[in-house]
Amino acid sequence: MVFKDVIKKLAVSVTVAGVLLTPLFANAAKVEYKWKMVTTWPKNFPGLGTGANDLAKLIGEMSNGRIQVKVYGAKELVGALEVFDAVSRGTAEMGHGAGYYWKGKVPAGQFFAAVPFGLTAQEMNSWIYSGGGLALWQEAYAPFGIIPMPAGNTGVQMGGWFNKEINSLNDLKGLKMRIPGLGGEVLKRAGGTPVLLPGGEIFPALQSGAIDATEWVGPYNDMAFGLHKAAKFYYYSGWHEPGTTLEALVNKKAFEKLPKDLQAIVLNATRVANANMLAEYTARNNAALGRLVKEHKVDLRPYPAEVLEQLKALSEQVVEEEAQKDAMSKKVYASYKAFRDQAVDWHELSEQSYLNARNPQ
């Protein structure tokens, strides 16, 4: 009888506990954070736009639906170049873009996107994650209430589309070219006119003659925009963007409202999205280049060695000068440069020597 009484009491206790605890777990399961992500890219654009979609999907799946992120392409909620402000104001909880698009607000931001003749994708990830870059990036954006994180990389880009041959640096003089960030400043030093345009406006501007030349990303993206229909010559390599890092922008107040586990999910989802995008570009670019050359008869050319040497010399001058314009840029560039120097030394012995052996000229 005593044993049966104990069993009854336990059964009642479990039932009572179930009645009491079920609403608590049910409420926790129903908690949802509905976020908006605004991007600088056309909706669903290959690589860049789909990279933003990938990040939103990862956050949703990893959080088991507790965070739902709706992605807006450029101009759907805000303009392509208004993403930074929208996240800063809280109009959207997240953004997806590149730091050189808002260099007028945060000059140091462009060092986290691309530096001419600078770090490759592998080296950028190493500096950001393991060389102190991420802490400096977050420090630079902190006054705007934004937490930045790497969320994609294109790898080495192409040198651009032109309707005339580039045989010397003089051929860049007077040229109106769509090229952002530090690369644009180098073009200006070479006598050209840099024009900042979001992706969706490049083709009509090139086709109409509003610009004379453009760079965008690489074959995978350039063919998607049909740039081969508006320019004849396709130059490589992308001296101006050797490892372009895309960024996820998170509104700080929205992030701090999340419980710790969801904060960790957002942070780690960006790492996965960052790796996924670079893998996609590496997998897709060569096939797209083959189509551009074979099917569309694009005239693929390397920049003359002399032109690259002169652009490199100008880049060193421009980057050093840009880094001295404000205290944060100076601080970021000191870290960047120190990391670059040691990465160059190591990769000369590792990556470069291996590639020279694998692909002898």
pLDDT digits (tens, 9 = 90+) for 48-58: 999 999 999 99
Residue 224, SS3? helix
CB 205, CB 211: distance < 8 Å: yes
What pLDDT score does 247 carry?
98
DSSP 8-state symbol, 82: G
Rounded Cα gap, residues 9 and 209, in angstroms? 85
What pLDDT score does 9 carry?
46
Alpha helices, H only, 94-247? 121-130, 133-141, 181-189, 202-208, 219-225
Low-confidence stretches of the chain (pLDDT beneath 50): 1-29
- pTM of the predicted model, to two decimals? 0.90
What pLDDT score does 13 carry?
41
What pLDDT score does 361 carry?
84
b/e sequence 13-29, b meaning 16+ C-beta within 10 Å: eeeeeeeeeeeeeeeee
What pLDDT score does 30 carry?
56
What pLDDT score does 24 carry?
38
Residue 195 has which token pair? 């024009």
